[in-house]
Structure formats: C-alpha cells, structure tokens
Amino acid sequence: VALRFVRAYLPRKYSDLVSGTDAMLFHDYSPKIMTPKYLEWFRQGVYDGVGLTLVEFAQRISACGMEYWQDTVLYEAFPAELAWNCIEAAAGRQYYRVVKQSPLTDFPKMEDLIINWGHHGDLYPREGATTWAIWRGRGTPALVSQTYGNGTVLHYDHGWDTMPEDVKRTWRYLPDYIFNHLCFVTGLQFPDDLELTHEVRALFASLDKQSRMAISVLEFIDKFGANTRQFELTLSGLRDEKEAAEKAYLEGDLNGAADMMRELNDRVVEMSNEMMKAKDRAMFWIFVIEWLSVTATGMFCGFVLWSLMVRRRLYREVGETRLSQASESDE
C-alpha cells in the first residue's frame, strides 16, 4: 500500500517536488518504501533550502526500519547518528531539560510535561549540530538540529504520537510547539508574543471547526427544502475574509489578524444561530404535515368504524341461513 501511495502522490520531477515546498515532515517510516531517486531528491531539496523535520527518527522496539536509513544518501543530512539501543521512557526519557533557550522549547512549564512514553534509541549529535533539549534523567539529546547546505533539519528522539494522550488533549501550547518547529526549519521569524500568537492560531482552529459544523447544518436543512442561498453567500464571504486574515498573520500583523478572526468567529456563531432557526422552521412544517396526516388517518378510520359498528349503515341483518333452511326441509 505504501509503495502504491508513493507512486501515486510523489511528483515525477525534482522541480515539482521542491516548487512551492518550504518544509518536509517525516515521521518514523522506513526508507524501503522509497526509491534511491526520491531519497536523493529529498537530500538535494534540503541542501537547496527546503526545511526537514525528522520526527521519531530513532531506533524503536517495533520493526520500523530505522536501521536502513544509515545506508541512504539522506542520512548525511541527519543532525545526529542513530544509536541501535532501545531504552524505555521510564528510564529517564520522559521529560525535557532545556539546555538552549529558543522558541522551540520556550513554553510555560515545558520541563514539567511528560513528552514521551515510548521506547527509543539514543541520538549522537554530529559535529556542528545544536542540542536544544536533553532527556532529564538519562541526559542524552532529545531535540537536535543542524544546517545542511541551505536547509535546516530538526531531529526528534521521540514521536508526536508517543506523547501521552492527556498531554495531547490538555496542553494548550501543543499547536504552538509544532508550528514553531515548522517556522524554525523554514527560516520564518518566530512570533514575539506567544500568548497573542496562540490566540490567533486558536481563532483559526475555532473558525475551521465552526465552519465545518455550519456546512453540515446547511446540507441538513437543504434536504428539507429550506432556503439556503443567503447562508451560502455568507460562507463564501467568510472564506475571502479568512484569506485576508491569513495574509496578515503570515506578514506578522498579529493584532490585525486577531481582530479579523474575532469578528469572523462572531459572525459564524451568528450565522449558525440563524441556520438553526431555519432548521427549526423547516422541521416545524414537517411535524405539522406528519401530525395532520396521522390525525386525518385516525379520523377516517374512526368514521369507518363508527359507521360499521355503531350506526350500522352498511349492516344488513341476515333473515335466513342455510341451517334454518335445512331444518325446515327435515320437518
């Protein structure tokens, strides 16, 4: 299946691979699914300035194929050599200890979070690499980076999926943690105000969620004949204004982006309320029609029953039966 996806989705030319690509994100997979041509393209792409994140690129207890990476051309771009041991998280590999301050790890109570629960091998940083965090307890690198040609590579000794579920659910800065790492490898400037940046990103996420819900309600009420034209026009306008907010965010105008996104979120909430009213109106007439249908059927059945059993309009008394005729013949 993986090989089929590679053939279907990866571009046929190197120029198509790097055109418009700022970063590549690899998460613990075996190079066996790639041809040597693509691995060389990835290496050349990083050398030419495309950022690369290597998430959970360390030896694991499962058969993940990490041992094959050292035989590929891309391995020379790795910030660290992979050790072939495998250490459980409880053996001092759960918490970061930040050794170099930067927006990569500069989050409130970062060192108090359990970042990893998986079994992984150690990383051995290469000459010139920068270690941003080590494992508290074991003391080996947890987050390493280096420049390769014109590109930047960030290397994790854990996975995003090996973070505990409660951390992924409750740590409010998890999206900022990931976005800042992508900013780092792409060379984008880090936002200065973490809280404002977090608010803007949360507003974008909230708008996406509410828009999806609004589209679902729109499809539902359309099935019952409600007039959805005005809602469709509103959603179209919201998409255009969201693009303007995204542009402001990318240009570093966080206050402007925040103002636009707050207004958009308020308008989506207002539109959703109107859509629910339209849904209620459509459902009201459905209930009325169903009630009238059931009532009319009940009245008709009652009238028929009353006519037959009470008034007996259609009832004719039997004057003579075959049994009585037979009795008279015998006499």
The secondary structure of the chain in percent helix, strand, coil, rounded to multiples of 5, reads 55, 15, 35
Query: Strand, coil or helix: what is 207?
Result: helix
Q: Are strands 130-135 and 141-148 parallel, antiparallel or unpaired?
A: antiparallel
Placement of tokens 């060192």 in the chain: 111
Q: How far is CA 302 from the centre of its chain?
A: 57
Highest mean pLDDT pick, 27-36, 93-102, 271-280: 93-102
Percent of the chain whose predicted confidence (pLDDT) is above 90: 58
Judged against a pLDDT cut of 80, whether residue 329 lies above it is answered with: no
**pLDDT 10s digits, 186-195:** 998 888 888 9
Residue ranges of E strands in the chain: 23-27, 51-55, 80-82, 96-98, 123-125, 130-135, 141-148, 151-156
Domain borders along the chain are 2-186, 194-285
pLDDT band at 319 (very low <50, low <70, confident <90, very high): low
What is the pTM (predicted TM-score) of this model? 0.76
pLDDT band at 330 (very low <50, low <70, confident <90, very high): low
Mean pLDDT score across all residues of the chain: 88
- The second-level CATH assignment, the architecture, of 2-186 is 3-Layer(aba) Sandwich (3.40)
Judged against a pLDDT cut of 90, whether residue 263 lies above it is answered with: yes
**pLDDT 10s digits, 157-195:** 999 999 999 999 999 999 999 999 999 999 988 888 889
Mean local confidence (pLDDT), 101-116 = 94
